[in-house]
Structure 1
């Protein structure tokens, strides 16, 4: 037996012990305002470099988080009162995607230019995702259909495996695989080239959130009651189930770290948490900052990202604030 697995175990044990004993009500390390009266939606890029924020006064703003500087300010075409309620950033930071209930738009992050708006043919939009190079788009709809679009060829495929409205979708970086979760208590992993189901993940209540590990090793699915699981995408088997004691837990934001050892979750009740993927145990938690004038004091965690070395988390919430949270002690 080599020494590597044992040494690795010791390092993880010390890491979890160190961060697990810290104050769960700790304040953010930094906090900056991105929307003066709160935001409708926000997405942080996989690498934590950019944040895309939708708000009533600023339209859609792309922020450079490394400089805390506004990079672009966009107007989602025809959106009433700038109500853009869905945002997405490609894993390679090449393109961004915005949507209201009836149409979606594509933005080139290098040039800052719009590359068009498309109105869906039927139903309304529930969730969106975009692949590397902005080539493939995924749109989940109220009528239970999920549409995959190839922007280069114009090819569209509709996945019709769900029986009720879609709540959450995710797209692999190369655009070849999709995750979709629905009110029909099911999450599907499916091949976007053929529309064929790869795995079916059953839940005891409506599936409210799905997410991919960036390297395609794992998937996360959660329902509206008490089941949130990490799945091994090689076998389709459950790796772990998140362990919590509350009556129910709803997630509004999910992010795997690069090594797929940690999972960060955000909720509509301000809660931010980190979990051990292999055991499902919560390691640490915080609560994002509500707006000073909000009654009751509440905020929805829209998006989370790990810093490059996993020492910090970055969050965007409905309070209009981007905040950083220290994971490891300095």
Structure 2
């Protein structure tokens, strides 16, 4: 056992077990350009209909998919493009967040106007919004993460970590906060009392985190290492996913993940442009796709920043090359 409700027990998760079959990756059914060159960060709503992107060339923006309509431009100063480090969007697409070093802004996704602004005590390294936009969680490089209640406009809890907080996640029911650090440690905390729920470790910096809608599962992945799905009710590892299975290149990493709303499914994206669908019950990879490059003749890769399920039963992803993709089962 690696986890109990009120007791912390650590375990080292390595690339130990490759599960499921091996699928040939198929190209996307649709591709949309959301940035003319590339992006520092990007995020998708739960159904993939809203995208928030931090472009290298034109600052922040909110887009509607699949119509590929840029709805709002978001920048901190009029007439200037902000160099945002991190962006986030609520699961329902009604709120967005952008960060520039230690400055954090919450935006109204309906009107496009800023709602609130904060100056945090350290550089923001990771950022997420809750499904309904009521909480904003910022991971900082001073070994803490700040939980902000957006309705009252202030921080309500500071979580301590062992090092720079490289990834954060919130459960859709607003009951759990999840932190991952540059040392590979993952910690789970209860909201609102801030009590620790559990922790485990990988052998490298944490890159992606996710919590399922029903709160049963949590996913974590590390740089150049396996991904792990933990069953939070039993405290056991439900599934280890070896990143190097099926022809993945060395040092490939799961960089994005999202659980399905009402099925035991996990969608992952990697820094090699691979999108994979996993069945947690059967412990198998059931589909795989590959995001295309901007220019097939150039060596630049496709690192996926976020993935999502659509209402139509398809899958979307957004990448550091400024492109968004749709994949069909």
Q: Deviations over 1:153-178 (max 9, x none)?
A: 43431111x21111100012343310
Task: Identify the residue that residue 203 of structure 2 maps to in structure 1.
Answer: 204
Is residue 87 of structure 2 the alignment partner of residue 84 of structure 1?
no
Equivalence map 1:19-34=2 (5 Å)? 23-24=24-25, 26-34=26-34
Q: Does structure 1 conserve the Cα–Cα contact (< 8 Å) formed by 2:253 and 2:271?
A: yes
Say what the alpha-carbon RMSD is for the aligned residues: 2.4
Separation in 1, partners of 2:262, 2:24: 25
Q: State the SS of the aligned residue for 1:291.
A: coil
- Pair 174,230 (structure 1): closer, same or farther in 2 beyond 3 Å: same
Deviation at 1:179, TM superposition (A): 0.6
Equivalence map 1:93-242=2 (5 Å)? 93-121=93-121, 123-153=122-152, 154-160=154-160, 162-242=161-241
- Pair 139,267 (structure 1): closer, same or farther in 2 beyond 3 Å: same
Equivalence map 1:55-70=2 (5 Å)? 55-70=55-70
- Pair 79,205 (structure 1): closer, same or farther in 2 beyond 3 Å: farther
Normalized per residue, the structure richer in helix is 1
- Pair 203,27 (structure 1): closer, same or farther in 2 beyond 3 Å: closer
Correspondent of 1:254 among 239, 245, 257: 257
Separation in 1, partners of 2:137, 2:323: 28
Equivalence map 1:42-61=2 (5 Å)? 42-61=42-61
In our comparison, the structure showing a higher alpha carbon Rg is: 1
Q: TM-score, normalised by structure 2?
A: 0.84
Q: TM-score, normalised by structure 1?
A: 0.84
Deviation at 1:212, TM superposition (A): 1.2
Query: How many residues are aligned here?
Result: 304
- Pair 78,253 (structure 1): closer, same or farther in 2 beyond 3 Å: farther
- Pair 283,76 (structure 1): closer, same or farther in 2 beyond 3 Å: farther
Point out 4+ residue stretches in structure 1 off by more than 6 angstroms.
none
Task: Identify the residue that residue 328 of structure 2 maps to in structure 1.
Answer: 326
Normalized per residue, the structure richer in strand is 2
What are the ranges of 5 or more consecutive residues in structure 2 without an aligned counterpart?
1-20
Q: Does structure 2 conserve the Cα–Cα contact (< 8 Å) formed by 1:306 and 1:313?
A: yes
Deviation at 1:227, TM superposition (A): 2.9
Q: Does structure 2 conserve the Cα–Cα contact (< 8 Å) formed by 1:242 and 1:275?
A: no
Larger relative contact order (C-alpha < 8 A, sep ≥ 6)? 2
